[in-house]
Amino acid sequence: MTSNSPQPVKKVPIHLQSAQNRVYIKNGQVVNADKSFKADVYIEDGIIKFVGAAADITVPGGVRTIDATGKLVMPGGIDPHTHMQLPFGNAVAVDDFYHGTKAAVAGGTTMIIDFVLPNKQQSMLEAYDTWRSWADPKVCCDYGFHVGITWWSKSVSDEIGVLCKELGVNSFKTFMAYKGLYQLNDSDLLDVFERIRSLNGVAMVHAENGDIIAKNAKRLLAEGITGPEGHELSRQEEVEAEAVHRACILAHQVDCPLYVVHVMSKSAGIEVARARQRYQGKYIMGETLAAALGTDGSHYRCQHFGHAAAHILSPPLRPDPTTPEFLMKLLANNDLQTTGSDNCTFNKNQKELGLGDFTKIPNGVNGVEDRMSLVWERGVHAGLMDACQFVAITSSNAAKIFNIFPQKGCIAVGSDADVVVWDPQATRTISKDTHHHACDFNIFEGMTVHGVPEFVLVRGRVCVENGLVRVAEGFGRFIPTPVRPAYVYDRLEGNAEAQQPEQQQNGNASKKLAELDAHIQPQQPIAAMLSADQNGNSHNHPARARVDGVRDQQESSFSLSEELDKAAVRSSIKVHNPPGGKSSGFW
Ligand code: URQ
Ligand code: ZN
Ligand code: ZN
């Protein structure tokens, strides 16, 4: 963290109106992505009006004053990846736009960017209207939208234009997975990326090879591997990494900037880093998730269906327990730029739709409430990054990429007063019993994290105060995200100034990438694991809870530490007994 004094400013006279909409935060340490400095912050009507020394402002009586001595005053978090009340298969995510944004605010996040996901053949504009009608009356903080491109046609192409030009959407998510549902082929991806580029938008990609996943899932189910462990087995690291690599090249071929959502593995993270190096910091940006930074795929081997299924999202958490720290280091090095949550929560009864068939478990986990604290704990408290970097990866970079900076993601005069007064020393223990989500499970259960939002202001409204959360349903506004983000396009179009920081950071990139490669644990392809010898005996059978594939619903003897120990020594998943003991096959 740097410590710069703010420029001297003229003394600002403040005229008293209503104390309700005027807040004065004094004695805090302001932290922005580029610098940190001691300053007071004055807010009026939801806008930051003053940032500077106490001596340079006359604060009238009656203004709400918050003493931030010993605390950090940071821009509220921006979660660029949520799915509130998403219909997914036969389930609807239980965190709706009220509970989801309330949880966000409780954790220090003051803006979310959610995804409109039209059905195949559905008009994107119709879907956009539907999502707006869900969100507008419920949101407790500001929000924006990305829109999914789940099929491709001339009408979709035209509607992307309307969304960009008239409806405040600059970013579009494509899927290389979810075969038969959302997946696009390479030819369509090229056309989509080309169209987005022509509008100066930002393409996004869910990068997993859906064809491989479909084949592996079919094979695993046929072998009787039907429990949650089959999820990760059907879509291992290289299945994600291959798609990241391909997507980056497809985007580059048509000159389109690409934001890779939810990078979940070391291999995929390296592909993003490699592409950024290859293209001199242009074109490619990467996001990882609170889930990937805070927990790992050992949970899929838990014998208790509910526990394992609650951790299922796509791409999955990885069994390699060194993944979270590795991804955090990629963030610290600007190889990845943002942290989202992919908050998409389902309750136990909904996850049980996948009993007997892991492909039917609704995908998604929590994270919008705990993202900020987790990144602080695993990033700043662990000594891997400083507070300015924390602000960059939890707020400012998302604001820049999606073109709402400095309205959001910044403590500066004229910015929206989305502010967090952060206590870096305070701790809290995460639990489903105290979280603000509507869901009955928390994937970070029991973790104690440093970094607590003592006050959270949403556009100047104090919504969190010493642990008390008082949000206002419908208070949030839709924030349009205009096309041509300078952060993305200046670099892409060769603005030398914009390229500077990336080039510096990528100075010894080749050596660095070679070192990163050494961290990848080789994995065995699923076809080899399931192969049969001439006597009809399979070899190297992966995790299997019971021969019938239905997992035991009783309490398990699962020990996370034992699982982590096992994972640490294995080079592939072929040699260990399944968590429920040896069943049959090739343990
Ligand atoms: O893929 C996603 O982002 C959504 C549709 C579902 N959630 C998840 O598992 N990542
Ligand atoms: Zn996705
Ligand atoms: Zn998602």
Residue-by-residue DSSP string for 361-408: SPP-B--TTTHHHHHIIIIIITTSS-HHHHHIIIIIHHHHHTT-TTTS
pLDDT at 3: 39
- Residue 271 binned pLDDT confidence (cut-offs 50, 70, 90): very high
Three-class secondary structure of residue 551 per DSSP? coil
pLDDT at 536 over 90: no
What whole-number percentage of the chain has pLDDT above 90? 80
Query: What separation in Å is there between the alpha carbon of 228 and the centre of ligand 2?
Result: 18
Mean per-residue pLDDT, 76-90: 97
Question: Would you say residue 171 has pLDDT above 70?
Answer: yes
Q: What is the pTM of this model?
A: 0.88
Output the six-digit token pair for 379.
Answer: 């990033």
Test site for ligand 1: of 183, 213, 287, 363, most ligand atoms within 8 A of the Cβ: 363
pLDDT in tens, 445-484: 999 999 999 999 999 999 999 999 999 999 999 999 999 9
Instruction: Give the single-character DSSP code of 392.
Output: I
pLDDT in tens, 279-291: 999 999 999 999 9
DSSP 462-481: EEEETTEE---TT---B---
pLDDT digits over 175-230, tens only?
999 999 999 999 999 999 999 999 999 999 999 999 999 999 999 999 999 999 99
What is the number of alpha carbons within 13 Å of residue 41 lying toward its C-beta?
Answer: 35
Ligand 1 atom closest to residue 312's alpha carbon, by position in its atom list: 9
- For ligand 1, atom 9, name the residue with the nearest CA: 313
**Average pLDDT, integer, range 319-343:** 98
DSSP-derived secondary structure for 479-540 = ----SS-HHHHHHHTT-HHHHHHHHHHTTTHHHHHHHHHTTPPP---HHHHT-B-TTS-B-S
Q: Is 83 in the pocket of ligand 1 (CB under 6 A)?
A: yes
Residues facing 23 on adjacent strands: 43, 64
* Whether the CB of 344 sits within 6 Å of ligand 1: yes
The two tokens of residue 281 are: 């910091």
Mean pLDDT of 134-138: 98
In tens, the pLDDT along 16-64 reads 344 468 999 999 999 999 999 999 999 999 999 999 999 999 998 889 9
> So what's the pLDDT on residue 522?
66
Euclidean distance between CA atoms 239 and 236, whole angstroms: 5
Asked if the model's pLDDT at residue 546 lies above 90, the reply is: no
What is the three-class DSSP state of 66? strand
In this prediction, residue 109 carries a pLDDT of 99
Ligand 1, atom 3: closest residue by C-alpha: 342
Query: Cis omega (within 30 of 0) on the bond before 60?
Result: no
What are the tokens at 257?
């900037």
Q: Write down the H helix ranges in 235-346.
A: 237-253, 266-278, 290-294, 305-310, 323-332
CB 235 within 8 A of CB 212: yes
Give the distance (Å) from ligand 2 centre to CA of residue 454.
32
72-76, 217-221, 288-292, 564-568, range with the lowest pLDDT? 564-568
Number of H helices, E strands in the chain: 20, 21
Mean pLDDT for all residues in the chain = 87
